[in-house]
Amino acid sequence: MIDFKKELNSEQYEIVQQGDGYVLVLAGAGSGKTRVITYRVAYLLEKSIAPSAILLLTFTNKAAKEMLTRVEKLMGEKVKGLWSGTFHSVASRVLRVEANAIGFEKNFTIMDQDDAEVLLKHCLQEEGLDTKSKKTPAASTLLSMVSYARNTELPLDEVIELKYPRFMAFTDALKSVAERYKREKRRANVMDFDDLLTYWLELLEDHEAIRNKWAEQFKYILVDEFQDTNKLQAKIVRLLAETNKNLFVVGDDAQSIYSFRAADIHNILNFPKEFVGAKTFKLEINYRSSPEILLLANGVISQNKKQFKKTLKAHHASNVKPHVMGHMTPAQEAQYIVQKVARSASAGRPLASMAALFRSAFAARALEMELVKNNIPYEFRGGMRFFDRAHIKDVLGFLRIISNHKDRMAWLRVLPLQPGIGHETARTLVERIMVQGDLEAALQSIANVSLPARARTGWDNMMSIIQEMKKRGSHPSGFIEGIAKSAYADYLKDMFENYEDRLGDLEQLAQFASHAKSTKDFLDSATLDDAYGSKDKVGNTRDRLILSTIHQAKGLEWDTVFVINLVNGAFPNERALSEAGGEEEERRLFYVAVTRAQRELFLTY
């Protein structure tokens, strides 16, 4: 038997004991919400509730596995039959049983994102849209549009106007593409991730017998991270809980930071109104951070109007106040952070106990460069490392052909970027280049070849980029500056909404290359140094500083945290501030960032 009163604090014990009915648990950062959920499940099992009558919904497979492992440890045995998993994985299990009711075969295939994009690209072509045109949304962009529309239950044309106004001229065509995409999926007996939720909800709303069957089975429903649910997920749990009326949701409105994924904070804010008679509990004892850090966190989040008021109380003893440091340039900011990290590492503190957090991956580029210069290994989370980004690899490709004109892979990377040159034409050109003695001879050999008009335009474009590079001497930093002023910059402007961030990356790359002795040395370093863009090998336990977006850091903690680039327009984000509810979400994002810190917190700009 588990001694719940001994193993839980008073707040947690009360929740576990009184968790029947409609229950909202407001779990502040670091307050032990996972402990509450796992002990609540164990409590139900000790009360002889059948595992198959318990449904535990999470947002990651990792969280589901961790909770089940903890429950089994508490029970001292394997727990078989408990329904535990993400919304999507549980939806898949239900649909495998009930697919025929909505016109699918039970052996339907679940498409991953790549498969979905391939099918959408086909649908774009079938509807007569030019998928090679820079004005037409890419399949990945359209998939994001359709996904957001479905998870918010907004019409697609409204989503385009709200989130993708540059594509408004294509609204009718894109609506036709979305309808074709839906038909093609059904015809092929396949579903994408959003279909899993959509069709699960359809089963519950439109098929009373099926709804009753599952609602009767799940006598107790528990939902983790309820503040991250979207409209579909909230409707699903409400319908499943109608029969037994035992719905136990845990979340923190102050950590609702995923509206861009269609998460709806109103699901948690309106829970007491939606479920009349619901009990609300608060977990306010924080087992992570110092009182000084919590004083800052409480003060910041108190400015939000749409929230449940709560005050985090520290379990740990007093420590140093958070540090605020301003700098004249991003480079100086990066130098300050690296100095602090190096000093802590020299004192014996593991790099992995420290993290630098940022609003977007582009904010970390100066810090990445400084870490590389100082040979400090790091792990990048929530985006691509600097040297893994496509535009950086493009620029390195241009440098590689200057350094070695027979670098086949470099040519095959940069040539298809030029208008009118496809992969077949690129391969043909490369075969001619490979037999030439040097770069000048290679360029001249193509100049003398008869090419189709569009391909000739593309080659002339390529030549103009090389000429811009050579105008600036023979040093890699000059080459990169030339690329940033060439037709390649026009390509970035035409292809990417965040082209300014990408051009900023090229500026940072040029500054970093200024320390290299030669182009060859620079390329060797970029390829061979483990601190650059190489992927970590499985099982690599090397100590590394953590660089992470704040979104990716949610749920994690470190001894020391640097929240960087706290510059107006960057964080808080200018675009987010222009959206409804954006200011409060930016404040919640900052709250999540500072509550990752256990002992020391640095706020820099």
**Does pLDDT of 532 surpass 90?**
no
Distance CA(425)–CA(455), nearest Å, equals 8
| Residue spans of alpha helices (H) in 47-112 | 61-75, 87-98
Look at domain 387-528 and name its CATH class: mainly alpha
What is the pLDDT, as a whole number, of residue 357? Answer: 98
CA 16/CA 74 separation, integer angstroms = 14
Q: What percent of the chain has pLDDT over 90?
A: 85
What are the pLDDT digits (tens) for 161-193? Answer: 999 998 999 999 999 999 999 999 999 999 999
Residues whose CB is less than 8 angstroms from the CB of residue 144 and which lie 6 or more positions away in sequence, other chains included: none
Tell whether omega for the bond before 572 is within 30 degrees of 0, i.e. cis: yes
Query: What DSSP element (H or E) covers 472?
Result: none
Tokens at 427, concatenated: 């391969």
pLDDT of residue 134: 67
Model pLDDT, residue 529: 53
Six-digit token pair at 236?
Answer: 């699903």
Confidence of residue 560 (pLDDT cuts 50, 70, 90): very high
What pLDDT is stored for residue 538 in this prediction? Answer: 39
pTM: 0.83
Q: Provide the pLDDT for residue 534.
A: 41
**Distance, CA of 186 to CA of 199 (rounded, Å):** 12
pLDDT at 533: 39
Please give the Cα distance from 540 to 399 (Å, whole number).
31
Which of 283, 304, 264, 201 has the alpha carbon at shortest distance from 23? 283
CATH 3.40.50.300 given to domain 4-94+198-283: yes
Q: If one looks up domain 292-384+536-604 in CATH, what number appears?
A: 3.40.50.300
Q: Say which residue the tokens 């002889």 belong to.
A: 48
- Mean pLDDT, all residues of the chain: 93
Distance CA 242, CA 215 (A): 7
| Res. 537: pLDDT tops 80 | no
Q: What digits encode the pLDDT tens for the residues 144-165?
A: 999 999 999 999 999 999 999 9
Instruction: State the distance between the two ends of the chain, measured CA to CA, in whole angstroms.
Output: 53
For the chain, give the percent of residues with pLDDT over 70.
98
Tell me the residue type at 366.
A
Are the C-beta atoms of residues 592 and 554 closer than 8 Å to each other?
Answer: yes
| 21-35 mean pLDDT | 96
From 66-80, 324-338, 385-399, the region with the lowest mean pLDDT: 385-399
Contacts of 166-173 with C-beta under 8 Å, sequence gap 24+, read 166/497, 167/137, 167/141, 170/129, 170/136, 170/137, 173/127, 173/128, 173/129
pLDDT digits (tens, 9 = 90+) for 308-325: 999 999 999 999 999 999
Give the catalytic positions in this structure.
Answer: 33-34, 224-225, 255, 596
Q: Radius of gyration (Cα) for the chain, nearest Å?
A: 27
pLDDT band at 541; cut points 50, 70, 90? low
Query: Contact, 589 vs 595, CB < 8 A?
Result: no
pLDDT for the residue numbered 497: 74
